[in-house]
Structure 1
């Protein structure tokens, strides 16, 4: 359906008007008083910018200009400059004071509105969101009022500026509407970069006004230079306030579901489900699939081929979509998995392609092609009809996969890149973790074990740093772990992986399997001389310990300390 900026703006203004009536009815004193305070604050800010210009004029003129008030001419030039400078400082301090007062009143008004709507708590940080919404509305309204008042003043004292501003705004608004309504790319740019675009338009309008004043002074009958300077300062401030109003209105509208649920008595919280109609979703229709699937598969065939069938392949990851495609070429049937990554999933796409390119022995279907389809990244895997696993078979499969990955030696180039980008387990362990744990521990025995762990922390980090690194896939699920007919495991998705000391990520309940896999890895890996059973078990303990601390599950972390100390002591004795 074609978008129309006029329609959306009309809906936004009607909603804002309803919101304003609600605020005025339920918190009238707060809402009205904030308007006066904000507008007066802006006048003080304008004065704080204007007075330094007057001081510079007095300094450069060699005396008190004739158009200055008579009472100032009785004072010396230096005295007038000092008074103007101090007045500017006082005006700015008063501006900040009024801003602070307005903020306090706004917070009180928002709390009053929530109380009077008599609703239950709807979501986390409800009060903060209410204060922010009420603040945006009241501040935006005051900025709009300041702009209208400023334009009315300019209409009276300098009609030319009023005409230029009104004409420029109409022209830019018309052009913006046309671009928004006609071009989807322009609509996306306006939606994404509205703040920068509004600032740019404000700058252009100010330049139009500036050149208009220059032309007026050169060729027509302008007012005094003093009046032109005042007008320029006023219109610059007014345009900034108009941009502020527009930005706050856009932000409020983007949260209208929550804001309406907070402040409107009969409006429940509705969770919006946004359906995309462009980007990756534009590729899903049968007509589009018939066009782009042969297009992306064509580099894989030297002769003509036909697409025999297309089926969905469930991957279980948001915004990543897969198709299982059967192709026939020269009476040979081949099957491919095409993975499509939405624009928001560029990180897992890059992680997967980078890993597979550098790690040649991965348990993974062969990656045959990568590329871009519009703004969508795609990966094409050659598919051998591997089966998905469920239940107990999957649980056992995850442990088997961990063991298989422990046997692989990561390439040196990959380790070097990883070390420059991310930290290993031993680097993340620090004394601050133990300080948080001490606050939870209440018994003398717990405090003692924490002190022992603190004393062993340096040794633990040393032992972990000596362990060889192993690859770990973090977002494994029932759909991405596959099994070949031969029984070998294969993983179809490598979008989130890490390199850690061998034994990391291993369940504490499966140490017998870990010992078995460690022994197998010792016989295979080229860097097995630093691989030990006690070391891998310590790594599994410390990974679980770190995870419990990060989740603030302090009792579970305390329960692990005896095991950590046991294996640390064992490793220390082996060194001795």
Structure 2
């Protein structure tokens, strides 16, 4: 990122948009800019005048830096007038800020009418008003910064030469930090600036302020300089100047991020076209055919030895939001042929990967038919996981009913360790905790008839018994993504479940596939009971179906399918 070029592009675009505003609402735009700049000035006075009053009231007579305009005989009158002026400045500041807000909204609505824009986003009028206000505020703050520097030159010349020079140095230093050779592998400081811009600008602002403070303090220490009033005024101007400068940066970045939306709102000939996000651009550049082959070769050489020659091809996502690649690799040293799967986790999906890794820190992968983990690494901002992909062929449709039965039995047969249950239940409620009176409360809005009110009353009366039953049913690891596409056959015919990013602990029966509910639960329960010693002997098929019923009802309520939920209650 070239900060100088980006700044020049923004200034050009800013000028184009501002000229459009001036054409549509010339007087309003000029007035808002003037009032915003005036608000900054009255803010300075609101801070400065009380200090001036304190200095005057605490002095014997009139200090020498007041004598050129103040008669000692009228000291008390001046104290009262300056105090009243401070309050008036504050009131004017509040009034100006409120007025500019109302005018900005009105101007935004007229700009939308002028552009003849159809609704293209939520709260479009408010968005247009906010964008309009930010453009005006940037111009006003820019005028204030210029006026503050020019005015400060008359108060303390060298101080207000030093401050802009230091700000320019920090801007150049920031440009150097952001100008990375490889934007797909940015430096740590560049990532910090982009992700923590507010903290970064605040830090620079404080550094500039305290540098200016030390610069201002030096004359008091090395000479007989004693103009306290000028020093106080300089500090206030610097603080407000830096606040305005920080506001310019913050608003400019926000407007730049919404540039395509703003153009569509303001200009008639511009359409709102979905654009590729920066993370998507990096992904496309980082994982093009040759680049992803080099990445795979580098990472696999660490675990399979040198000489691996992978062939990496795109695979339509198994899980929405996660890009996947199939890797066919042959090791030259061993002659072994393997089919692997590379899953790419963008920053927004890190939690899914961490959730899966947490599970397998407590349960061996083989116990849940999960594939062997081959490698895990970062590629730019993306976290990648390479695992075994068996034969590379998902379960055929014709085999899925039998496979689903086998996998359900496999998951039910794996008892979650007590430590995992303890940690999980401390962070996420189990079904017997979730299945409470809140479900009945949410259903109440859809109880339109006397019959539905009776069902709801009956459901409430059943809740304590149901919750007690759910609590008595042993837990298992449920995979919310269990489907045919999330499985793969191994060469020996065994089936693996690829993704485990959305697992939960549920009572046996919760999430049971519908095709298995009529005949299989009793058989399943017998086979699982032979493996798990924590299965009570009195656990029945009806208990399993109760857990399945509760899980399904909870899902219907979460999806606001309340009428369907009443039908389930009626059949219970």
- Map of 2:196 onto structure 1: 193
- Map of 1:469 onto structure 2: 475
The question of whether the paired residues in 2 share the 8 Å contact of 1:352 and 1:496 is answered with: yes
Q: Distance in 2 between matches of 1:432 and 1:131?
A: 40
After TM superposition, the score normalised by the length of structure 1 is 0.85
Q: 1:558 to 1:26 in 2, by over 3 A?
A: farther
- Map of 2:254 onto structure 1: 251
Which SS does the other structure have where 2:477 is aligned? strand
- Map of 2:440 onto structure 1: 434
The question of whether the paired residues in 2 share the 8 Å contact of 1:323 and 1:337 is answered with: yes
- Map of 1:525 onto structure 2: 532
Q: 1:493 to 1:277 in 2, by over 3 A?
A: closer
Q: Distance in 2 between matches of 1:178 and 1:295?
A: 30
- Map of 2:138 onto structure 1: 140
Q: CA deviation at 1:444?
A: 1.6
- Map of 1:573 onto structure 2: none
The question of whether the paired residues in 1 share the 8 Å contact of 2:486 and 2:499 is answered with: yes
Q: CA deviation at 1:499?
A: 1.4
Q: Distance in 1 between matches of 2:28 and 2:139?
A: 13
Q: 1:269 to 1:243 in 2, by over 3 A?
A: same
Q: 1:304 to 1:515 in 2, by over 3 A?
A: same
Q: Distance in 2 between matches of 1:71 and 1:467?
A: 90
| Residues 1:162 and 2:187 aligned together | no
Q: Distance in 2 between matches of 1:507 and 1:88?
A: 73
Q: CA deviation at 1:256?
A: 0.7
What is the CA deviation profile of residues 319-365 of structure 1, one whole-angstrom value per residue up to 9, with x for unaligned ones?
44333232336654241525253451332222223323322201122
The question of whether the paired residues in 2 share the 8 Å contact of 1:348 and 1:496 is answered with: yes
| Residues 1:385 and 2:391 aligned together | yes
Task: Give the alignment partner of residue 227 of structure 1, picking from 226, 230, 248.
Answer: 230
Matches within 5 A, 1:354-393: 354-360=358-364, 361-372=367-378, 376-385=382-391, 387-389=393-395, 391=397, 393=399
Q: Distance in 2 between matches of 1:551 and 1:395?
A: 27
- Map of 2:309 onto structure 1: 307
Task: Give the alignment partner of residue 214 of structure 1, picking from 205, 214, 217.
Answer: 217
RMSD, aligned CA: 3.4
Number of residue pairs matched by the alignment: 559
Q: Distance in 2 between matches of 1:422 and 1:312?
A: 36
Q: 1:50 to 1:470 in 2, by over 3 A?
A: same
- Map of 1:572 onto structure 2: none
What is the CA deviation profile of residues 16-49 of structure 1, one whole-angstrom value per residue up to 9, with x for unaligned ones?
1121122222233443333233233333322332
- Map of 1:536 onto structure 2: 544
The question of whether the paired residues in 1 share the 8 Å contact of 2:474 and 2:508 is answered with: yes
Which SS does the other structure have where 1:500 is aligned? strand
Q: Distance in 1 between matches of 2:286 and 2:316?
A: 17
- Map of 1:21 onto structure 2: 19
| Residues 1:494 and 2:496 aligned together | no
The question of whether the paired residues in 2 share the 8 Å contact of 1:356 and 1:362 is answered with: no
| Residues 1:353 and 2:353 aligned together | no
What is the CA deviation profile of residues 255-303 of structure 1, one whole-angstrom value per residue up to 9, with x for unaligned ones?
11111111211111111124659866665356655654344334545x7
- Map of 1:420 onto structure 2: 426
- Map of 1:240 onto structure 2: 243
- Map of 1:316 onto structure 2: 318
Q: Distance in 1 between matches of 2:99 and 2:404?
A: 59
| Residues 1:270 and 2:241 aligned together | no
The question of whether the paired residues in 2 share the 8 Å contact of 1:386 and 1:485 is answered with: no
Q: Distance in 2 between matches of 1:418 and 1:242?
A: 47
The question of whether the paired residues in 1 share the 8 Å contact of 2:3 and 2:175 is answered with: yes
Q: Distance in 1 between matches of 2:400 and 2:94?
A: 62
Q: CA deviation at 1:244?
A: 0.4
Q: CA deviation at 1:241?
A: 0.8
Moved more, 516-525 or 412-421: 516-525
- Map of 1:561 onto structure 2: 569
Task: Give the alignment partner of residue 451 of structure 1, picking from 437, 447, 457.
Answer: 457
Q: 1:64 to 1:555 in 2, by over 3 A?
A: farther
The question of whether the paired residues in 1 share the 8 Å contact of 2:297 and 2:310 is answered with: no
- Map of 2:556 onto structure 1: 548
Q: Distance in 1 between matches of 2:259 and 2:306?
A: 54
Q: CA deviation at 1:248?
A: 0.5
- Map of 1:203 onto structure 2: 206
The question of whether the paired residues in 2 share the 8 Å contact of 1:315 and 1:480 is answered with: no
Which SS does the other structure have where 2:146 is aligned? helix
Q: CA deviation at 1:512?
A: 1.4
- Map of 2:509 onto structure 1: 503
After TM superposition, the score normalised by the length of structure 2 is 0.85
Q: Distance in 1 between matches of 2:418 and 2:172?
A: 59
Q: CA deviation at 1:555?
A: 1.8
Q: Distance in 2 between matches of 1:71 and 1:562?
A: 91
Q: CA deviation at 1:543?
A: 2.5
